């Protein structure tokens, strides 16, 4: 029978961090399950890196407790926490060989030279860079150096792997490759991983759980699908992807959906998720990718709920898809992203925008 995994492998309990009068992390409660990849996502200054540094032992909590495997580690020295760490700048020693860089953490763990050699070679094979032990970091590309940093982090067989913006120094194509590589490696090793990023694509594509942060607080935590499709508030919906926000009031129910009247007096059926009553003020949230366009001249429907009419005032062609901005009225613009199935619409085209009621969500105003 397989051993049950610990749902609180890493725990932050009432953790707060102050720098003088500035509160970087506020009364944080967070559980990281064993074997999971959990991403701390948010803008600069939201507290995500401070949280990671407290876990690593590089900062001391002002109050609260941090646990790994049920053991309080607040006062435990860094070298006794058994953590693997990867940073944005790789932090490789430029004057040491790749072998010595990867073996660095083992030298403080009373490992024999033969076992050390075996572990380093295995780590290099794991990151698909066998046979580079005698090279210097300057002889490797940026992506290869990042893999060496990953090898150095996993060679000690850490209880927890910490990654702080590890891909931000790479170009976009290389970031995509490394994103997949880290994701696959983490699943193969089964190591509990906490990944810090401000990049929503990294968070959504790699994570078992996403923790969205702002101003030192957790705004929402859940699976990528939960935080994207059922955002808890305006900030989360706005930070994760391209969203449109339309102010409205709830009028009642129709066909299993809630009916909302927008401030311009148009009507929209919305997903009934959430507790709303007739008369409640709310924001309708519609993802830019969840709407479709058509020419006004092609519109042939009597019922116009969930249809919006306007003119394209801007667009950005991005190869497989096009980003459109449709002005409905002065100051009211919808952002629509569609795959290219035909000749793209152009500035000035009179169009309608269709929004499926299922993809229209309500947030309390």
How does the average pLDDT of the chain come out, rounded? 92
Q: Please report where in the chains the tokens 């926000």 appear, as a residue.
A: 245
As a whole number of angstroms, the distance between CA 208 and CA 222 comes to 8
302: confidence class by pLDDT, cuts 50, 70, 90: low
The answer to which of 58-62, 71-75, 123-127, 170-174 has the lowest mean pLDDT is 170-174
pLDDT at 213: 97
If asked whether residues 191 and 284 sit together in one domain, one would say no
pLDDT in tens, 100-149: 999 998 988 888 999 999 999 999 999 999 999 999 999 999 889 989 99
How many structural domains compose the chain?
2
Query: 117 lies in a domain?
Result: yes
pLDDT at 2: 46
**Which distant-in-sequence residues (6+ apart) come within 8 Å of 276 by Cβ?**
250, 258, 282, 362
Q: Are 63 and 234 in contact (CB under 8 A)?
A: no
Last residue of a domain, one of 202, 235, 268: 235
If asked whether residues 67 and 179 sit together in one domain, one would say yes
If asked whether residues 209 and 68 sit together in one domain, one would say yes
DSSP state of 173: H
Last residue of a domain, one of 184, 207, 235: 235
- 228 or 297: which leads in pLDDT: 228
As a whole number of angstroms, the distance between CA 78 and CA 57 comes to 5
Q: How many CA atoms lie within 13 A of 324 on its CB side?
A: 30
Which backbone phi and psi does 221 adopt, to 5 degrees?
-135, 145
Q: Is 113 exposed, middle or buried (0-12, 13-18, 19+ CB in 10 A)?
A: exposed
**Predicted TM-score (pTM) of this structure:** 0.91
Mean pLDDT, rounded, for 349-363 = 95
Q: Is the pLDDT of residue 253 over 60?
A: yes
If asked whether residues 165 and 227 sit together in one domain, one would say yes
Domain with 290 in it: what CATH number?
A: 2.40.50.100
Mean pLDDT, rounded, for 293-311 = 85
Q: Is the pLDDT of residue 249 over 60?
A: yes
If asked whether residues 172 and 38 sit together in one domain, one would say yes
Query: 128 lies in a domain?
Result: yes
- 173 or 186: which leads in pLDDT: 186
Considering the chain, what percentage of its residues have pLDDT values greater than 70?
98
- Please name which of 183, 160, 175, 153 lies closest in space to residue 86, comparing C-alpha atoms: 153
pLDDT at 7: 87
- Cα(first)–Cα(last) distance of the chain, in Å? 49
If asked whether residues 72 and 174 sit together in one domain, one would say yes
Domain limits for position 76:
10-235
If asked whether residues 69 and 188 sit together in one domain, one would say yes
Domain with 36 in it: what CATH number?
A: 3.40.50.300
Last residue of a domain, one of 178, 211, 235: 235
If asked whether residues 186 and 323 sit together in one domain, one would say no
Query: 295 lies in a domain?
Result: yes
């Amino acid at each position: 029978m397989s051993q049950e995994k610990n749902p609180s492998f890493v725990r932050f309990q009432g953790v707060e961090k102050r720098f003088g009068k500035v509160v970087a992390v506020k009364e944080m409660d967070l559980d990281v399950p064993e074997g999971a990849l959990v991403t701390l996502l948010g803008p600069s200054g939201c507290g995500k890196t401070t949280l990671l540094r407290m876990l690593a032992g590089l900062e001391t909590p002002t109050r609260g407790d941090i646990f790994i495997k049920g053991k309080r580690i607040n006062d435990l020295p860094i070298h006794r926490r058994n953590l693997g760490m990867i940073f944005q700048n790789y932090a490789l020693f430029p004057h040491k060989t790749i072998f010595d860089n990867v073996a660095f953490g083992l030298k403080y763990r009373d490992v024999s030279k033969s076992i050390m050699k075996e572990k380093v070679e295995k780590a290099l094979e794991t990151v698909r860079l066998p046979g580079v032990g005698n090279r210097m970091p300057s002889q490797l590309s940026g992506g290869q150096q990042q893999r060496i940093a990953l090898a150095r982090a996993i060679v000690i067989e850490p209880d927890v792997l910490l990654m702080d913006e590890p891909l931000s120094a790479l170009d976009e194509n290389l970031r995509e490759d490394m994103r997949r590589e880290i994701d696959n490696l983490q699943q193969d090793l089964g190591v509990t991983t906490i990944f810090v990023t401000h990049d929503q694509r990294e968070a959504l594509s790699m994570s078992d759980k996403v923790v969205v942060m702002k101003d030192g607080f957790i705004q929402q935590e859940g699976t990528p699908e939960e935080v994207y499709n059922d955002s808890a508030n305006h900030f989360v919906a706005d930070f994760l992807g391209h969203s449109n926000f339309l102010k409205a009031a709830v009028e009642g129910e129709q066909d299993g959906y809630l009916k909302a009247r927008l401030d311009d007096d148009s009507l929209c059926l919305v997903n009934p998720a959430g507790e709303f009553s007739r008369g409640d003020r709310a924001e309708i949230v519609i993802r830019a990718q969840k709407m479709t366009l058509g020419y006004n001249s092609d519109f042939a429907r009597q019922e116009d709920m969930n249809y919006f009419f306007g003119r394209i005032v801007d667009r950005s062609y991005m190869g497989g898809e096009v980003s459109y901005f449709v002005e409905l009225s002065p100051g009211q613009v919808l952002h629509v992203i569609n795959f290219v199935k035909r000749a793209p619409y152009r500035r000035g085209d009179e169009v309608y925008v269709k929004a499926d009621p299922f993809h229209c969500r309500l947030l309390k105003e």
